[in-house]
Amino acid sequence: MIGGNQTRTIAFLKHMLLMLSVLGCMAVAVSAQEIAGSPPTTENASVNAQRTMPLTRTPTPHEINEVARQLWCPLCAGVRLDACELKACAQMKEVIAIKLSQGATPEEIKAYFVEQYGPQVLGEPPRKGFTLLAWVLPFAALAAGAGWLIYQGRRWALRGRAARTATARATLETTEDAYAKRLEEELKRLD
């Protein structure tokens, strides 16, 4: 059976979790607006301009996919570039191939795509400014929840121990009273 204090505590916890989740959603929405920036430029012009540059080596499909796995499709929600089947993603893979053939490192290629499409192409919010909340808030909520559970567990344990102690004292006093009364009766009978 749940007492009045426990019901209020549970209701308070539910309310706090709801508020934290709303705050988290707001942080994600604001970070998406911050990192959205301007719409990407047409990739065809970029690909054609890069094709005119001399190639130093031909990258393997594995090398292209290694870089593409680290990037996310700017048009699809939650789809990595290597798994996306849109024409725009195929063109982005061509750009990766061209950049690799020109000797660019994967970090330089990622920086290029961040410049073109914004940080959302990396698949995670940047760890600075307001978007830092998207990284910190879940861990803060977990720590607060763990602290609350420890506090409540100790409080409930102390409450149970106090109740057992009070019951034991009452039983002891009742037993002592009964014993003293019986002793008095025996002493009166002997007199």
Is the pLDDT at 145 greater than 90, yes or no?
yes
Bridge partners of 98, per DSSP, are none
Q: For 41-117, which CATH class?
A: mainly alpha
Rg of the Cα atoms in the chain: 34
pLDDT for res 136 = 86
* CA gap 151, 94 in Å, rounded: 57
- For the segment 29-37, the average pLDDT, to the nearest whole number, is 48
Q: Measure the CA angle with vertex 26, ends 23 and 126; round to 5°.
A: 105
Mean per-residue pLDDT of the chain: 76
Supply the pLDDT for residue 72: 87
Q: Which residue did the predictor score with more confidence, 65 or 16?
A: 65
Q: Where are the domains of the chain?
A: 1-37+129-191, 41-117
Answer with the residue of higher pLDDT: 136 or 2: 136
Helix residue spans in the chain (DSSP H): 4-36, 43-51, 61-68, 87-101, 106-117, 132-190
Phi, psi of 80 (to 5 degrees): -70, 155
Q: Which residue did the predictor score with more confidence, 29 or 8?
A: 8
Share of the chain above pLDDT 70, in %: 71
